[in-house]
Structure formats: structure tokens, C-alpha cells
Amino acid sequence: MPTLLELTTTLHNLRRPWPIDWPGLPLVFERAWQQLALGQPRSGSRTHALQKFGQEVVRQVELDGARRHAQGAEPAYHNRLHIADTLVCMTYLIRACRALGIAGAAHAPTGALALAIMAGHDFLHPGGSNATPSEFEARAVSDLQPLMQSAGLHPVDRDLLSHCILATDPTRVKAFHVDIRTRSFDLTQRDCLAVLVQEADILASTLPKTQEGLTQALSREWAPTQPTAAERLLLPQNRLLFLEHAALFSSPAALKLGLDKVKGRQMSDIKNRLNQAA
């Protein structure tokens, strides 16, 4: 069973070379693929198509991010490091699912699909937040269609990928978690996979060692267009709201890793500090 200490160390190691000596998203994707022991899939298989798709997505994201970074325009939060974080977090969640014997977790296409989703979930993100429901998520799905077609993705996988990316809209997260509470967690069910995607998306922002830097990065990203919201992000009250209402963890993998306990300790600490300041 993987541990949060191992995950925290891996996320720390990602940050050491960022951004000057950054090794590139393609390498992060390759390492995640290796960690899940997905090997070299048979040509023409679902797993092979997902591998081709994921590789092309991270190649394009890396090129775009490097170009924007050189121009001083890469988003402070929705950048290549965020995609790398989510690939790593998904790898740990899938490994934990496998250790727990979760249905579908050991199936190669499931792991390949999970990595492909994280690679593309914020595809060429412009920075900032949605002005309309699912604005950036829907745009990512639309922009990824040619890559899905070129890779030869199975229609089922195209649908699953689109469904899970749209599910990362923050306004939709809670409904998914509520919905699966009465179900047996099964990664062959698309809403269970969507929950795992949502967890991977915000996991690094929940962990104590990485949350502060990520919150500050998101504040910098929002500052040009949403200065008031950017300032509020840095308040302890806002951190408490995030932990209570946005950092939701329902999968057996997340619970086994102890994320609810990590959240609980942070929430208690913030409440104590707020009470002392009152």
C-alpha cells in the first residue's frame, strides 16, 4: 500500500527542478505509466490508443507551457506542474485501489484511461476560473477531440474521458461524491472513476506540505482579473471553506491513505487559530 509520506516526497521532488530544470511532462507521464506497470501495450489495443493519446497530450501541453513561460504568460497554478501533480496523485490513488482490490483497478485500460484524463483535464488552460458553468472543462473536451480521433480512441473511452473532465468543474464535484456514497466503489463505473479524477485534481492542494505554495499560486493567477477573490484565497477562513466543501474524498483509496485525517487536523488547527484571534 502506498503512503501519503511517499506521495508528499514525490510531489516535493517534482518541485525541485521547477521551472528552470524542468524535465518535461512527457517524462512525468512515462514514469507514471511505469509505476502502474502498464508496459508496452499491444498495437491496436485500447490501452495502446490511450497511451498514444496521453503522450500526444502531454507533448502539446509541454510545448505550450514552455512557450508561454518564455513569454512570462504561463498560468501560475494551471500550468505544467499542476498537470504533473495530478498525474502523480492519480498514480498513487490507482495503486491504492489495486492494493484494496477495487473492481477494475488492476485492468490495464483503467490505469491508462486515468492517466490520459489527468493529462488532458486542463488542456491548454488559459488561467483564471470559469465565467460560465464548465467553461474551461468543456473547452478542453472540445480541443481534445482531434487528438482522440488521431489516437484511435475507442468511442467508450472518448465518452469516459469527456465525462470525467467535465466532472472536474468545481461546482459539480459535491454531487458526484454524494451520488457514489450508496454504491460499491467500482472503477468500471464512470462516476466512480470521475470521483477518483476529482480527488487527484485537488489532492496536492490538500496536503500540508504543498497546499500553501499552490494556494499562493492560484491567488497570483486570479489577481489580474479577480483581485478581491485572489486576496480572499489567502485567508484562513477560505482555506477552511476549501477543506470543508471542495477537498472531498470518498474513494476507498483516499480514505485508506488517510486524507480525511489530514483534512481534519488542518481544519481543527484553523478553527483553533480563528477562535484565539476572535
Nearest Cα neighbor of 12 from 80, 81, 69 is 81
Cα distance between the two ends of the chain: 42
The DSSP symbol for 42 reads P
Question: What is the rounded CA–CA span in Å between residue 54 and residue 147?
Answer: 9
225 CB-near residues (< 8 Å, 6+ apart): 128
**pLDDT given at position 246:** 95
Nearest Cα neighbor of 215 from 254, 270, 137 is 270
Exposed, middle or buried by CB within 10 Å (0-12, 13-18, 19+), for 70? Answer: exposed
**pLDDT given at position 228:** 97
Grid cell at residue 230 = 485572489
**pLDDT given at position 137:** 98
**pLDDT given at position 173:** 97
**pLDDT given at position 257:** 97
The domain that holds 148 is classified in CATH as 1.10.1300.10
**pLDDT given at position 208:** 96
Domain count, the chain: 1
* Tens-digit pLDDT string for the chain (278 aa): 999 999 999 999 999 999 999 999 999 999 999 999 999 999 999 999 999 999 999 999 999 999 999 999 999 999 999 999 999 999 999 999 999 999 999 999 999 999 999 999 999 999 999 999 999 999 999 999 999 999 999 999 999 999 999 999 999 999 999 999 888 999 999 999 999 999 999 999 999 999 999 999 999 999 999 999 999 999 999 999 999 999 999 999 999 999 999 999 999 999 999 999 87
Decide: helix, strand or coil at residue 256.
helix
Interior/surface letters 215-232, b for 16+ CB within 10 angstroms, e for the rest: bebbbebbeeeeeeebee
Q: What range does the domain containing 228 cover?
A: 4-277
Interior/surface letters 161-188, b for 16+ CB within 10 angstroms, e for the rest: bbbbbbbbbbeebeebbeebeeeebebe
Grid cell at residue 8 = 508528499
Radius of gyration of the chain (CA): 18
